[in-house]
Amino acid sequence: MKTLKLALAWICDHWQLCVIVVGMLVLLWLCRNISPKDFADRIKLELAAIRAKGEARQLSQELGSEKAKNEIENKYKDAMTKFNEEQKAEAERLRDDPVALADFIIHAAG
């Protein structure tokens, strides 16, 4: 009984430390399924999307919007053939904006 009172007194005196430890355990429990490989793949996908958007902006400035759309569709034709119906409809909706179309294609194909 005396040990229990001492433990409770210590917990009451150092409650901040207890909260930090419990918070760290919860954080570890939440992040247990995140692997470094998944994280690296996600970063590669985002970098590819940034490059694609940059290329689309450059094409839009150099060739104009209509030719840029055609160039992007030709470049990513293989990826677009694997789209399901929802993705095809979304790509068609984004067809007027070459930058958004390139971003969507990269994310949908990734």
pLDDT of residue 108: 86
pLDDT of residue 47: 92
Q: Long-range pairs for 43-51 at CB < 8 Å and ≥24 separation?
A: 45/106, 45/107, 45/110, 48/106, 48/110, 49/102, 49/103, 49/106, 49/107, 49/110
Query: What SS3 class is residue 70?
Result: helix
pLDDT per residue rounded down to tens, the chain (110 residues): 788 888 888 888 888 888 888 999 988 887 777 767 777 888 898 999 999 899 989 988 888 888 888 888 888 888 888 888 898 888 888 888 888 888 988 888 87
Neighbours of 12 (CB within 10 A): 9
pLDDT of residue 1: 77
Give dist(CA 19, CA 49) in Å, integer: 40
What are the residue boundaries of the structural domains of the chain, listed by start?
1-33, 35-110
pLDDT of residue 10: 81
